[in-house]
């Protein structure tokens, strides 16, 4: 019988439980079936974010699979930042019950697994932060103190802060017995960052520098169809409509279905890939069958971008940004781009108007105009140099 060792450690400013075992493909795949299991490249181990409910369910999952559990689980949870460790007490029995029902509430709203994990982790820490205070007496002041502590001590980014507020607002709606007014929890404004975009030449260099056939076809699809990484992983062979050069995305972000394009230029590449790897169900499959992992895609994309001499940070979403920006520069109407990307709101797509170079290239700097006018006044064909 395979023995699974559960060991506490701190990762991503959270108390986690490392899952260690003698390598076996079957054991690895069974462990990954449990919702909330992640892989960390830093520590090279599978792990869970620690909480009593999740850990109890995970141990039950292991035993159902005929696996023996050897554990050294943490007695409390901790947050760590810049060498300082902050202890949070375990949940009280009443709060444990409320937290378990909150997880069911999130699942009932059909949120994605990642959203459930994110919201529940913030609410778990909030319930721990308030210690023995009964849940029905929690108010906005408790929320304010927790947010101040989390943002100040753990140095959360704006995006993480916004996720935390969303999680706490959902908890207030879920548990009306408390006196938290969800609308009074301040939501910070988003950072207005422009997306990183590769030039068309950089994209071509990236694809041509990728020697592995499976990796090359994955990169070509991410850019050529503007896919999110989750959409690529979940892509099935039945989603391809080659006569119409269309790709049917059945379960995109927000469970929104859409059609997008397949680049005709990669048809030979797709045929070669299919004949070589012979996938059974999913477009990208791991060697033993089943879905390819997002971590593997990010890793080989980063490696091949470096091989192509690209100095920008290249992620799957950078290829999606590049696809949208290049469409806009070709003169494609932004409403069609919105539909191809699967954006619910046109405002989301409008960000690409800020990075499109088509119109910017037609604008002359006032310095260029000033030097040009000076040259004309001097009746000289000689260019005025400022270097």
Q: Where are the domains of the chain?
A: 3-75, 86-184, 200-354
The CATH class, in words, for 200-354 is: mainly alpha
CA distance 261 to 143: 46
Residue-level pLDDT at 349: 77
Query: Hey, which residues are catalytic here?
Result: 228, 253, 317, 320, 343, 352
pLDDT in tens, the chain (387 residues): 788 888 887 776 677 888 999 888 888 888 988 878 888 888 889 998 877 778 888 888 898 888 888 865 455 555 544 344 456 788 888 998 999 899 999 999 988 877 888 898 899 989 999 999 999 999 999 999 999 998 888 788 898 999 999 999 999 999 999 999 999 999 998 877 788 899 999 999 999 999 999 999 999 999 999 999 989 999 999 999 999 888 998 877 766 788 898 999 999 999 999 999 999 999 998 877 778 888 889 999 999 999 999 999 999 999 999 998 888 888 888 888 888 888 877 777 777 776 666 555 566 667 666 667 766 666 555 555 555
Residue-level pLDDT at 303: 94
- Of the candidates 221, 215, 182, 190, the one whose C-alpha atom is nearest the C-alpha of residue 319 is 221
Q: For CA atoms 31, 36, 41, 46, give the dihedral sign.
A: negative
Cα atoms found within 13 Å of the Cα of residue 136, Cβ hemisphere only: 2
Residue-level pLDDT at 359: 58
CA distance 130 to 149: 12
Overall fold of domain 3-75: MutS, DNA mismatch repair protein, domain I (3.40.1170)
What CATH code is assigned to 86-184? 1.10.150.130
- Of the candidates 238, 296, 293, 242, the one whose C-alpha atom is nearest the C-alpha of residue 271 is 242
Residue-level pLDDT at 80: 44
Pairing verdict, β 38-40 and 14-20: unpaired
Instruction: Report the chain's C-alpha Rg in angstroms.
Output: 26
Residue-level pLDDT at 32: 86
For 287-322, give the DSSP string.
TTSSBPPHHHHHHHHHHHHHHTT--S---HHHHHHH
Q: What are phi and psi of 325, to 5 degrees?
A: -65, -40
């Amino acid at each position: 019988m395979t023995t699974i060792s559960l060991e506490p450690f701190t990762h991503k400013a959270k108390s986690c439980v490392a899952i260690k075992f003698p390598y076996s493909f079957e054991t690895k795949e069974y462990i990954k079936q449990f919702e909330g299991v992640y892989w960390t490249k830093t520590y090279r181990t599978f792990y869970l974010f620690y909480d009593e409910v999740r850990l109890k369910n995970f141990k039950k999952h292991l035993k159902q699979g005929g696996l023996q559990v050897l554990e050294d689980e943490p007695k409390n949870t901790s947050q760590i930042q810049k060498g300082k460790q902050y202890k949070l007490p375990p949940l009280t029995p009443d709060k444990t019950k409320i937290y378990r029902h909150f997880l069911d509430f999130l699942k009932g709203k059909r949120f994605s697994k990642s959203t459930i994990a994110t919201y529940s982790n913030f609410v778990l820490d909030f319930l721990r932060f308030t210690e023995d205070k009964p849940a029905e007496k929690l108010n906005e002041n408790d929320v304010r103190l927790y947010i101040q502590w989390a943002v100040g001590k753990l140095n959360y980014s704006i995006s993480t802060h916004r996720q935390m507020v969303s999680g706490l607002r959902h908890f207030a709606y879920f548990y009306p017995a408390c006196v938290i007014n969800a609308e009074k929890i301040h939501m910070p404004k988003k950072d207005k960052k422009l997306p990183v975009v590769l030039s068309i030449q950089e994209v071509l260099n990236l694809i041509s520098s990728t020697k592995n056939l499976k990796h090359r076809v994955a990169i070509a699809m991410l850019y050529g169809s503007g896919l999110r990484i989750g959409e690529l992983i979940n892509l099935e062979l039945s989603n391809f409509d080659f006569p119409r050069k269309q790709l049917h995305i059945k379960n995109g972000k927000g469970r929104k279905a859409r059609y997008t394009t397949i680049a005709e230029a990669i048809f030979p590449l797709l045929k070669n890939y299919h004949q070589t790897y012979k996938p059974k169900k999913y477009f990208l499959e791991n060697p033993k069958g089943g879905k390819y992992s997002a971590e593997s895609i990010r890793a080989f994309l980063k490696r091949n971008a470096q091989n192509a001499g690209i100095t920008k940070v290249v992620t799957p979403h950078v290829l999606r940004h590049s696809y949208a920006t290049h469409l806009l520069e070709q003169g494609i109407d932004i409403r069609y781009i919105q539909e191809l990307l699967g954006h619910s709101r046109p405002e989301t797509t409008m960000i690409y108007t800020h990075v499109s170079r088509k119109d910017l290239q037609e604008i002359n700097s006032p310095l260029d105009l000033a030097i040009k006018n000076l040259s004309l006044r001097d009746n000289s064909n000689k260019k005025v140099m400022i270097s």
